[in-house]
Structure 1
């Protein structure tokens, strides 16, 4: 593990980050005492990704939200139209 002083980190933060991105772990010291450790971040798959990979769930066929409102009440049109009509009625009162 590499060790650098706090002053060096303050003067060249991008250089330290580049070393960490390359896989190095860096121990930062302040007056010789360790104050923080910089280690490369490992991307762990999220819960949904793990479920997709295991086959427990399947991805949706289409992107976006389903039009549940129009399925429940097709005579009303879209939810945004209903909201706008409701606002207009409230303004007229």
Structure 2
């Protein structure tokens, strides 16, 4: 952890920002006493990323939803076809 005096921060703030962007944490002091800390900003983790990191779940193997209708009814082309058939049956009643 680096330290930087308040005067130095006021005179050259871009140096401090560059160090923090590079991942450093800087403690800013005023007359030798720490007054604040500059830390790099981190992207918030999603709930899925936190659960994967904790070992509670495993990440999905593929993106998107699986096409379950094909496994259940191999003769139907898609979920859209199932919906159209269902609506047609309801209209015929």
Q: TM-score, normalised by structure 1?
A: 0.49
Largest Rg, 1 or 2: 2
- TM-score, scaled to structure 2: 0.49
